[in-house]
């Protein structure tokens, strides 16, 4: 499972602890650290700044904004610092308070060197906290907490904390003299909490008559870095920007892949749209071509479907009238044709409401008699194109409705 991976730089090595494992502190060079980090996922990566490399202060400066506080603090602490303020990095407790704001101070180049080494190993911390912040403490307490080094078997260090923003580190062999000076300078301390590892308790604590509460189940305080209640994160200012860029970098390739997929999908849709548009244009052209062939008298095409329907309806109406005219003329001439067996019908045509019969007879008088008989009852009959050949006469009898 994913959890917190805690890292602490030491003068000659690195120490680390993985919460998802046995919570045992491991140590080694940067390559060993990188191998351990790659062995298991971590949702939170914490860099612990050693107590020897960090100072805690509290400032009370008139500032209306975080930016003004950041600008004024270095000069408010200038007299209490051994190094030029230009070489130092200042981090502020996000909580603040009536008693001022807690400030952590660390050498800027040193912090950058740790981050660069971790970055080269493929590790980017999400947070950076002070080692002294990990010492068990309750706000407003009048006690002094003592813990031994976070490393195996103590490594000869003891860490002390007697206020929210007051802590220090001393060699284990100097713990007695350090306590004597501290208790003399801090008369408000009324009790002592001993969180030292069992291997370090052979050194007596000169309590000066104060009660000492021993915590026999004490664990390495490095594991406390996984707590999210720590309000002072040293990755602020330019270092916060680096952390945010690193976080953005972890999403860069997934974002690039998602953008590429979106681009491919958009391109495919655009190509499909272009193909459909070209196909639609071809269909429109084919429709107009067919329309012009079917209705050549219509020269202006606006909506082929509607215009075709209108033209078909007009033809239907015209066809209904033409059929009636054709049947009337045919019914008029049929009895006369039936009475003259010698007159033979060669071809029949109907156009422009006129019925044309191509006839053949042995003699012209027979065709003339048929024309005279048909020219009655409002029907005009005319004999046209009479010709004599091969012992027969051919002519065209045209019938139409008309008046004399």
CA distance 112 to 104: 15
Residues whose CB falls within 8 Å of the CB of residue 180, separated by 6 or more in sequence, listed in order: 206, 208
Which pair of structure tokens corresponds to residue 22?
A: 């046995």
Residue 98: pLDDT band with limits 50, 70, 90: low
Minimum mean pLDDT range among 125-134, 157-166, 331-340: 331-340
Burial of 107 (0-12, 13-18, 19+ CB in 10 A): middle
Q: CA 311, 312, 314: angle at the middle one, nearest 5? A: 65
Q: What digits encode the pLDDT tens for the residues 75-92?
A: 888 888 888 888 999 988
Task: Please tell me the CATH code under which domain 319-401 is placed.
Answer: 3.30.1360.100
> CATH: 3.60.15.10, 3.90.1150.50, 1.20.1730.10, 3.30.420.380. Which one for 3-250?
3.30.420.380
Q: Hey, which residues does 3 pair with through a beta bridge?
A: 42
| Domain spans, the chain | 3-250, 319-401
Q: Are 10 and 25 in contact (CB under 8 A)?
A: no
Three-state DSSP state, 151: coil
Within 10 angstroms of residue 104's Cβ, the number of other Cβ atoms is 24
Q: Is the pLDDT of residue 381 over 50?
A: yes
The answer to whether the predicted template modeling score (pTM) of the entire model surpasses 0.85 is no
CA pseudo-torsion sign 80, 81, 82, 84: negative
Q: What is the pLDDT of residues 148-200, one digit of tens each?
A: 765 544 467 888 898 877 888 888 888 888 888 888 888 888 888 888 876 55
For the stretch 27-51, what's the b/e string if a residue is b when 16 or more beta carbons lie within 10 angstroms of its beta carbon? Answer: beeeeebbebbeeeebebbbbbbbb
pLDDT tens readout for residues 209-250: 788 888 765 667 787 877 766 778 899 888 885 555 554 445
DSSP state of 132: G
Please tell me the predicted confidence (pLDDT) of residue 199: 52
Distance CA 141, CA 260 (A): 57
pLDDT band at 146 (very low <50, low <70, confident <90, very high): confident
């Amino acid at each position: 499972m994913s959890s917190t991976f805690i890292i602490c730089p030491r003068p000659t090595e690195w120490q680390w602890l993985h919460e998802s494992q046995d919570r045992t502190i491991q140590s080694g060079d940067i390559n060993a650290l990188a191998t351990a980090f790659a062995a298991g996922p971590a949702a939170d990566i914490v860099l612990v700044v050693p107590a020897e490399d960090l100072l805690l202060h509290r400032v009370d400066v008139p500032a209306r904004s975080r930016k003004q506080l950041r600008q004024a603090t270095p000069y408010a602490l200038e007299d209490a610092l051994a190094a030029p303020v230009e070489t130092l990095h200042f981090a502020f407790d996000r909580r603040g308070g009536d008693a001022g704001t807690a400030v952590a101070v660390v050498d800027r180049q040193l912090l950058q060197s740790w981050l660069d080494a971790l970055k080269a190993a493929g590790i980017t911390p999400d947070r950076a906290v002070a080692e002294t912040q990990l010492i068990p403490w309750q706000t407003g307490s009048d006690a002094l907490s003592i813990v031994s080094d976070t490393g195996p078997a103590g490594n000869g260090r003891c860490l002390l904390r007697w206020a929210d923003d007051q802590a220090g580190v001393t060699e284990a062999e100097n713990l007695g003299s350090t306590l004597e000076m501290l208790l003399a300078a801090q008369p408000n301390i009324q009790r002592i909490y001993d969180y030292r590892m069992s291997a370090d308790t052979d050194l007596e604590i000169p309590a000066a008559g104060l009660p000492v509460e021993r915590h026999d189940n004490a664990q390495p305080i490095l594991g406390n870095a996984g707590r999210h209640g720590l309000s002072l994160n040293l990755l602020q200012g330019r270092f916060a920007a680096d952390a945010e860029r690193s976080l953005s970098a972890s999403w860069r390739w997934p974002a690039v892949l998602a953008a590429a997929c979106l681009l491919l999908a958009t391109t495919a849709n655009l190509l499909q749209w272009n193909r459909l548009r070209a196909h639609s244009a071809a269909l429109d052209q084919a429709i107009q071509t067919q329309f012009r062939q079917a209705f050549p008298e219509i020269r202006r095409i606006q909506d082929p479907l509607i215009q075709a329907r209108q033209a078909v309806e007009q033809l239907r109406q015209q066809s209904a009238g033409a059929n009636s005219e054709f049947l009337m003329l045919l019914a008029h001439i049929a009895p006369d044709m039936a009475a003259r067996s010698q007159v033979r019908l060669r071809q029949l045509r109907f156009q422009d409401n006129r019925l044309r019969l191509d006839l053949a007879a042995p003699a012209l008088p027979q065709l003339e008699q048929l024309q005279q008989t048909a020219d009655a009852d409002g029907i005009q009959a005319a004999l046209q194109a009479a010709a004599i050949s091969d012992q027969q006469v051919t002519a065209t009898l045209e019938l139409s409705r008309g008046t004399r």
